[in-house]
């Protein structure tokens, strides 16, 4: 059995004091939003408790689907790297960026450089480590936008596929985009992994199913992603962005593919959005070669309640029948 933990949107705080020049951009809106809302909604030891409970479940791997930071200040980005290091080794934790990690032009490049061992495939982890030891640049290690995503990490019979939707967007927008080149590579990657008989888990920040978010927060080319899944297939898609627990499906060649969202990992319980949670997926192939995947939601329901199991269910996996 392979256990995969999924958390998202920690929006790590507290927000460092920005320089005035850094606020002459979209950041001023995010800064005000932090002061009015997120500084109170995302506080205390919620995240620490969530991570401690997650580690106690001894997952085999951890998937984090973006929005590690708030307005992508340099100190936020470096602090997020320290946080990632505190969770576990870069070959145990996989990350894809979110729209807040690309809040303003140039921010995503800095985030990629800071977090790169957590956002590359198995064949590039050692290169990323070497580049950091040598204080090399992303370009020195061969990390170009054209080659970076999707990346693949194989863990036994499970393949984790990291997709980036992170793009800098205008004020009042939180949209994402995959792009035609990445979508083509994603299709080829999923087809190859499918022929190998692996359980394919797609990590993506913005949800790709229909009517997932408001228009100004949407994945602008979600139909392109759905077309890829319809042709190439996958067994499971994990996303963040919405800060709610959600279960949807996208049609694949062998049936509907589960698309699972998780609330923010730092949201205090009792607010407008669900309290902080993470999901734990137990993946196994039975004697007949059919996949089984059990989902356990763990987190906070009310301010007075301790962290607990919230729900447990077996997901229908395309091409597999479940009793």
- CATH number, domain at 200? 3.60.21.10
pLDDT at site 23: 63
Cα 18–21–23 angle (5° rounding)? 60
Q: Are strands 151-155 and 199-203 parallel, antiparallel or unpaired?
A: unpaired
Q: Is residue 287 part of a domain?
A: yes
Could you tell me the residue range of the domain that residue 124 belongs to?
2-315
pLDDT at site 43: 59
Q: Is residue 185 part of a domain?
A: yes
Its pTM stands at: 0.91
Classify residue 52 as exposed, middle or buried by CB count within 10 Å of its CB (0-12, 13-18, 19+): exposed
pLDDT at site 74: 93
Strand partners, 2: 283
- What separation in angstroms does the CA of 44 have from each of 40, 59, 85, 296? 9, 25, 20, 24
The count of residues in the chain is 323
Q: Is residue 163 part of a domain?
A: yes
pLDDT at site 31: 61
pLDDT at site 320: 72
Q: Is residue 323 part of a domain?
A: no
- What separation in angstroms does the CA of 234 have from each of 94, 224, 244, 247? 18, 15, 23, 15
Query: Is 239 in contact with 65 (CB distance < 8 Å)?
Result: yes
Q: Which of 280, 191, 279 is nearest to 1 (CA)?
A: 280
Q: Is residue 9 part of a domain?
A: yes
At 34 the three-state DSSP class reads helix
The residues, any chain, with a CB within 8 Å of residue 276's CB and separated by 6 or more, are 46, 47, 50, 263, 264, 265, 266, 267, 268, 269, 299, 300
pLDDT at site 181: 96
Q: Is residue 93 part of a domain?
A: yes
Segments in the chain below pLDDT 70:
17-25, 28-31, 34-35, 38-44, 135-147, 321-323
Classify residue 11 as exposed, middle or buried by CB count within 10 Å of its CB (0-12, 13-18, 19+): buried
Query: Tokens at residue 40, please?
Result: 């109170």
Q: Is residue 321 part of a domain?
A: no
Q: Is residue 303 part of a domain?
A: yes
Query: Is 117 in contact with 92 (CB distance < 8 Å)?
Result: no
Query: Is 204 in contact with 6 (CB distance < 8 Å)?
Result: no
pLDDT at site 38: 62
Domain count of the fold of the chain: 1
Measure the CA–CA gap between 277 and 244, rounded to whole angstroms: 9
In the block, tokens 């050692």 appear at 126
Strand partners, 286: none
């Amino acid at each position: 059995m392979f256990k995969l933990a999924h958390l998202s949107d920690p929006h790590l705080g507290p927000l460092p004091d920005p320089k005035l020049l850094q606020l002459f951009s979209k950041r001023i809106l995010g800064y005000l939003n932090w002061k009015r809302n997120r500084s109170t909604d995302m506080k205390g030891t919620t995240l620490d408790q969530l991570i401690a409970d997650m580690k106690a479940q001894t997952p085999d791997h951890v998937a984090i689907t973006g929005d590690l930071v708030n307005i992508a200040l340099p100190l936020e980005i470096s602090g997020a790297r320290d946080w990632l290091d505190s969770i576990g080794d870069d070959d145990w934790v996989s990350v894809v960026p979110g729209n807040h990690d690309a809040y303003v032009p140039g921010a995503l490049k800095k985030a990629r450089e800071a977090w790169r061992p957590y956002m590359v495939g198995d064949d590039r982890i050692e290169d990323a480590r070497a580049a950091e030891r040598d204080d090399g640049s992303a370009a020195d290690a061969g990390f170009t936008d054209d080659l970076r995503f999707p990346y693949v990490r194989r863990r036994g019979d499970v393949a984790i596929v990291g997709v980036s939707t992170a793009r800098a967007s205008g004020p009042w927008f939180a949209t994402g985009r995959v792009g035609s080149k990445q979508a083509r590579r994603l299709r080829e990657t999923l087809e190859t992994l499918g022929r190998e008989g692996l359980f394919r888990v797609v990590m993506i920040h913005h949800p790709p199913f229909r009517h997932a978010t408001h228009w100004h927060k949407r994945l602008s080319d979600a139909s392109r992603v759905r077309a890829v899944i319809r042709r190439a297939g996958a067994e499971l898609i994990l996303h963040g962005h919405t800060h709610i627990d959600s279960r949807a499906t996208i049609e694949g060649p062998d049936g509907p593919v589960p698309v699972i969202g998780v609330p923010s990992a730092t949201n205090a319980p009792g607010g407008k959005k669900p309290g902080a949670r993470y999901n734990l997926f137990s993946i196994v192939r039975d004697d007949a070669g059919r996949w089984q995947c059990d989902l356990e939601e763990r987190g906070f329901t009310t301010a007075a309640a301790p962290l607990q199991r919230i729900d447990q269910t077996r997901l229908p996996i395309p091409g597999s029948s479940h009793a």
